[in-house]
Homo-oligomer: A and B are copies of this chain.
Amino acid sequence: MSPAGSAGIVGAIGPEGSSSPFDAQEAAGILERTRATVDPELRRAIGSLPGPLRRIARYHFGWEHADGTPATGGAGKAIRPALVLAATSALGGPQSVAVPAAAAVELVHNFTLLHDDVMDRDATRRHRPTAWSVFGDADAILAGDALQALAQRLLAEDPHPASAAAAARLAGCVVELCAGQQADTAMEKRGPGEVTLDEVLAMAEAKTGALLGCACALGGLYAGAGEEDVEALEAFGREAGLAFQLIDDVIGIWGDPRRTGKPAGADLMARKKSLPVVAALASGTPAAAELAELYGLPYEKGELERTVLAVERAGGRDWAQGQAADRMSRAMHALSRAVPDPEAAGGLLALAEFVTRRSN
């Protein structure tokens, strides 16, 4: 549907690609305005927590150092709340009414980050030590639990006529996020040949697509959109989310570590069953057999180049790029159903371009 969309994806992945500076600037502006609008609501919600939980949450959000002194710069980019507000605008609603929903989505996102980091034993998040590594597992689990509760409280206390439908939808999304994380942790315990491409795609959709889709759907609900438009917005966010994950996995193998904040190849060294890897393993090529052999044993120093090459030769990169383009095309199609006017769809488009381009 959108040539700009496809160019964006290719631009993000190919070393020769160049992103459109206008779209990137537009997205950056949207995100900045979103943070300015939603941050006070988020800070108010977090501020209502009892002392120790508040401290853990503030640290996690990047607003405080571990010792409780103020910090700056560690917060997330606010893509999900931006999608909520942009979807509300796109459907003709005033953004201001959707701020509680935007904050609720961001709280849910951060609740899952807190818990995922505990389960995955990830030591770093947004270039800082993870909450569990600073405060311990129990505190990180409890802060996550409290953020989920805060998200639901924001919606339950919101008098907007769409708030109950939004709360039900967000709760259903949380179940899907949990199922996605469950599938992810379960898959990591299985052998590299025992995981199918359908399984990892379903897992990525649940882990990444579901909340982006829910964010867009909530924005639609708060604009008073009908069921059909809400579902189309959900599909837009979900497909864009999957495109984002595919590209994220590609960048994790071939990308520039200065741009992504994590060293290229780390996923391969950890034998992660990322989307390009599983596609490569399923290709039935000689390179797939080589990759399976490498993945059957722990990473040894110096193997990285050979592993990257095996994924590439087995078609993992081409498949992921093609899938990402396909998903973005589906996303654009869904968007055009909910928001036929390209002018009105501009904000959502710019955000989708931004997340799949990672020009951040």
Contacts and interface: CB of A to CB of B under 8 A. Distances in A.
Contact of A171 (B141, B153, B181): B153
A215 interface: no
Nearest to A176: B50
Interface in A149-165: 149-150, 152-153, 155-157, 163-165
A185 interface: yes
A10 to B, nearest CB: 35
Given A156-B171, A164-B156, A138 B50 contact: no
A167 to B, nearest CB: 4
A75 interface: no
Contact of A138 (B119, B149, B168): B119
Contacts of A178: 53, 142-143, 145-146, 149
A179 interface: yes
A179 B53 contact: yes
A137 interface: yes
Most chain-B Cβ atoms within 10 A of its Cβ — which of A137, A163, A167, A178?
A: A178
Contacts of A49: 175, 179
Interface string A37-74: 00000000000111011000000000000000000000
Interface in A168-206: 168, 171-172, 174-176, 178-179, 181-183, 185-186
A145 B108 CA distance: 11
Contact of A156 (B137, B148, B167): B167
11 contacts: A52-B179, A53-B179, A119-B137, A136-B185, A138-B181, A139-B182, A142-B179, A146-B175, A148-B174, A149-B171, A156-B164
Q: Which 8 A-B pairs have the closest CB atoms?
A: A153-B171, A149-B174, A156-B167, A156-B168, A50-B179, A119-B138, A149-B171, A142-B178
